[in-house]
Amino acid sequence: MKKQLLPVFVYSENYNLDMGPHVFPAIKFGVLHERLRSDRRFRKHDFVEPVKATRSEVENVHSSDYVSDLLELKHSSRLLRSELPLTSEIVEAFFWACGGTLLAAREALRVGRAMNLGGGFHHAFRNQAEGFCYLNDVAVAIRTLIREDRIARALIIDLDVHQGNGTARIFRFDRRCYTFSMHEENNYPQKKERSNLDVPLPTAITDEEYLRLLEQSLEKIAQSYEPDLIFYLAGVDVYRLDRLGGLSLSREGIAQRDKMVARFMPEVPLVTVLAGGYAVNDMDTVDLHLQTCEAMADLL
Ligand SMILES: [Zn+2]
């Protein structure tokens, strides 16, 4: 049973990777954290700082060769599909994100709900970078907790507009993790992987139909899987004014989505991570992530 419903928030200044002009709005982490800290409604909540994930934690998922490429800043074939610069600051930020998601998972197991104000890098594969993702923080947290015998089974609810292809592949033959991805069909990545449950969405889908499909999918999962821990990738690139997403969800529709996930399987601890968000206006992205925080704190 959940002991309380005040989620713990995990944040580190080291998430704020400086990428110069890039579609990835790296400033969102710091701005979101400041907004939460100055918001009276979140005063009672715990804000905790992670430590950086260790190499051995990261290697619970990623190959040692690949991790060496990253740490030595080697532009090997494993990094060809990355769309990020390769600098030690950026690589370090991914180790921090992994540490953050792992800490959020530990906090969720302790108090019921926790949220990493970062993370959700679901395009990273075991042996390969892709998109804006070097290390798959959610997979690292799951494999680490399984190795420590803290959990036996995890469920991933990935509602970012892009398919969680790296995660799907990592857990493809691993029954200790159920992967669910609901994403825009005609969008990145071009080649989709197979999740346990994929719900490809038509471009321009609106709130009502989206929420109906989500509800159906969650019911289906509840009938077939009993997780010890749930990870929610709450990407807000489903927003109608997103630069990289083609769906037509409103702010209110996204709030309903977040609430639906927050209330799903109430007896199972829930870890939320930010994942994507590339609204035309960066502050819309921050507002939408803040809305997810409100949903997790039952303030919506
Ligand atoms: Zn995305």
Q: What pLDDT, in 10s, does the model give residues 153-174?
A: 999 999 999 999 999 999 999 9
User: 183 CA distance to ligand 1 centroid (A)?
Assistant: 9
User: Is pLDDT above 60 for 280?
Assistant: yes
**Of 5-9, 31-35, 276-280, where does mean pLDDT reach its minimum?**
5-9
Residue among 61, 59, 79 at smallest CA distance from 70: 79
User: 268 CA distance to ligand 1 centroid (A)?
Assistant: 25
111-144 tens-digit pLDDT: 999 999 999 999 999 999 999 999 999 999 999 9
Q: What is the CATH number of the domain that holds 110?
A: 3.40.800.20
**Of 11-25, 36-50, 95-109, where does mean pLDDT reach its minimum?**
11-25
User: 16 CA distance to ligand 1 centroid (A)?
Assistant: 18
Q: Which residues of 189-226 are buried (b: 16+ CB within 10 A; e: fewer)?
A: beebbebbbbbebeeebebeebbeebeebbeebeeebe
User: Residue 79: inside a domain, yes or no?
Assistant: yes
User: Residue 1: inside a domain, yes or no?
Assistant: no
pLDDT at 4: 57
User: Residue 3: inside a domain, yes or no?
Assistant: no
Residue among 124, 153, 143 at smallest CA distance from 66: 124
Give mean pLDDT, residues 248-274: 98
Give the count of domains, the chain: 1
Give mean pLDDT, residues 81-98: 95
User: 276 CA distance to ligand 1 centroid (A)?
Assistant: 4
pLDDT, mean over the chain: 95
The DSSP secondary-structure symbol of 175 reads T
Residue among 242, 250, 240 at smallest CA distance from 276: 242
Q: Which of 123, 162, 183, 289 is catalytic?
A: 123
User: 27 CA distance to ligand 1 centroid (A)?
Assistant: 17
User: Residue 92: inside a domain, yes or no?
Assistant: yes
User: Is pLDDT above 50 for 1?
Assistant: no
User: 80 CA distance to ligand 1 centroid (A)?
Assistant: 19
Residue-range definition of the domain harbouring residue 226 = 8-296
User: Residue 2: inside a domain, yes or no?
Assistant: no
Give mean pLDDT, residues 241-261: 98
User: Residue 70: inside a domain, yes or no?
Assistant: yes
pLDDT at 27: 83
Examine the residue annotation and report whether 123 is marked as an active-site residue of this protein: yes
Q: Using DSSP, state whether 293 is helix, strand or coil.
A: helix
User: Residue 14: inside a domain, yes or no?
Assistant: yes
pLDDT at 192: 98
User: Residue 91: inside a domain, yes or no?
Assistant: yes
**pLDDT class for 188, splitting at 50, 70, 90?**
very high
Question: Model-level pTM?
Answer: 0.97
